Structures are given as C-alpha cells and as structure tokens.
Amino acid sequence: MLTGKRVLVIDDAEAERMLISTYLQTQGCRLYHAQNGEDGIQKARLLGPDLILMDAEMPRCDGFAACRVLSEDPATAHVPIIFLSAYAEPEQRVRGLLAGAVDYIGKPFDFDEVRLRLSVHLRQRPEPTAPPPVHGDPGAGESHGANLHGLLFQGARVHLLKSLREPPGVHELAELIGTNAKRLNEAFRHCAGVTISEYLREERMKEASRLLRHTDASITEIAESIGFGSGANFSTAFKTRFGLTPKHYRHQRTDLDGD
C-alpha cells in the first residue's frame, strides 16, 4: 500500500525525477525531490521520508557516498534506500548493497517492478491501530478493515520469518492466526502490495544476502537454511533477484571490503 507514503527522489536528471515521480503520484505517494547527494542528505534529515529512491551516479556527492552517510546517521538509518541506475553491472549492485541500500532498480523503469519493490520495503509500516469506531461514523467500516488487515499481516509475518526453511502453507498459516486463506491474502495485498508467496520469496532472498555478507556458510548450507532443495535452484532464484549469482555476490563483497 503506497497511499500517503513520503518518498524522496534523489536524482540529478530532472527528466528521470519527473518520470518516476509522476508514476508514484498516481499510486498515492507524496513526493519530494533532491538534485544531488548533498541536497538529498539534507532533505532526508529534514523530512524523515518513508523511503528514498536515489540515483547512483551524481555530481558533487554520488549516491554511494550519500547512502553511507544516511545509513550511519541515527536520524535516517531506518529509512530504506533503493538505488536507481542505468548500469546493470554486478559490481555496482554489490557496491550499493554494501553502502547500505536495501534494493536496486534498473533504468529504464519497469513500473510494475517499481511498485512491487516499494511495497515490499514499506510493508513493515502497516496502518496503526485506531480506537474502536464510533457508531454512525461513515468511515468506521473502512478504518476497521484497515486495522484488521494490519493485525493479520503482522501475525502472519511473525510466523513466516520464524520458519523460512519450512514455512507453513497458506491455509495452515491462516489457521495459525485465526482467519481464512482469502482474508489473509487480502491482508498481504493491502499492507504489502504483494502476495504471500512474493513476500516469502523476498524475505528468503534478503536472508540469503545477509548470510552471504556476514557468514562463511557454504552456498548449499545457505540454500537449505532458507528452504531451497538444491543449491542450483537457489542460485537461479538469487541471480534473478539480484542480478548475479551467490558466488559472484560473495566474491564482489570480499573484493570491495578489501579495498
């Protein structure tokens, strides 16, 4: 759900800023703009956006340097940063992730991908719980529905994150939190903008990237720990998600850490 989310777009190319901003406005986002890394850092600290979209290559202060600054600042460290770039080389993807970004979107934009990526990284902020609606309030039914979606989503999320290796099926998951599969799927689409399976796949890939960065576990061990039956299937899924194989990702991380 992107409605009302504050998104800061940092890009020195005005045409690129306006292209993605125009699309996100149709999704209900509130847009803010910055023209370079320095401007972006100042506005991020001032605005406290829900998410930052940042170009990698910019004058004065590039996206990688700005990302490191924002990731290390307690005031902005919690804000997810997604890089935007026309360059698809694995080295740049790894460099962005190591700088503190949570994702990478290539140019030219695929707007379905943009919506999915933003929804996934904004999913941890469901609608806050509100007091019971007053009888006769015309917005009461809508408010109650949003609160229920948030509660179901958060409950299911806890079960999924505890069992990435052997997650419960949709019907079992629904039973665990006292609902049905249809209502649970509606909650995920409302709060995250993705299906349960898409959410689970993204969490598995995030955990895999974390294990590749911070542990010496083998690729086969990592694959098994997040529920893949074989290292080959895991490598294919990882490359589809991040643009490079787990082995290449780990080697690039090691090379960059040693610079």
Predicted confidence (pLDDT) at residue 41 exceeds the cutoff of 60: yes
CATH code of the domain covering residue 26: 3.40.50.2300
Q: How far apart are the first and last CA of the chain?
A: 40
pLDDT digits (tens, 9 = 90+) for 185-244: 888 888 777 889 988 998 898 889 888 888 899 999 999 999 998 889 999 999 988 888
> Is there a single domain that holds both residue 16 and residue 81?
yes
pLDDT confidence tier of residue 11, bands split at 50, 70 and 90: very high
CA 203 vs. chain centroid, Å, equals 9
Containing structural domain, residue 22: 6-122
> Is there a single domain that holds both residue 172 and residue 94?
no
Domain count, the chain: 3
Cis ω on the peptide bond leading into residue 49 (within 30° of 0)? Answer: no
Report yes or no on 133 lying in a domain.
no
> pTM of the full predicted structure?
0.51
Residue at token pair 């901003």: 21
Neighbouring CB atoms inside 10 A of 254's CB total 11
Report yes or no on 202 lying in a domain.
yes
> Is there a single domain that holds both residue 164 and residue 242?
no
Domain stops at, among 91, 122, 153: 122
> Is there a single domain that holds both residue 61 and residue 118?
yes
The predicted pLDDT at position 133 comes to 42
> Is there a single domain that holds both residue 202 and residue 189?
no
CA distance 149 to 128: 11
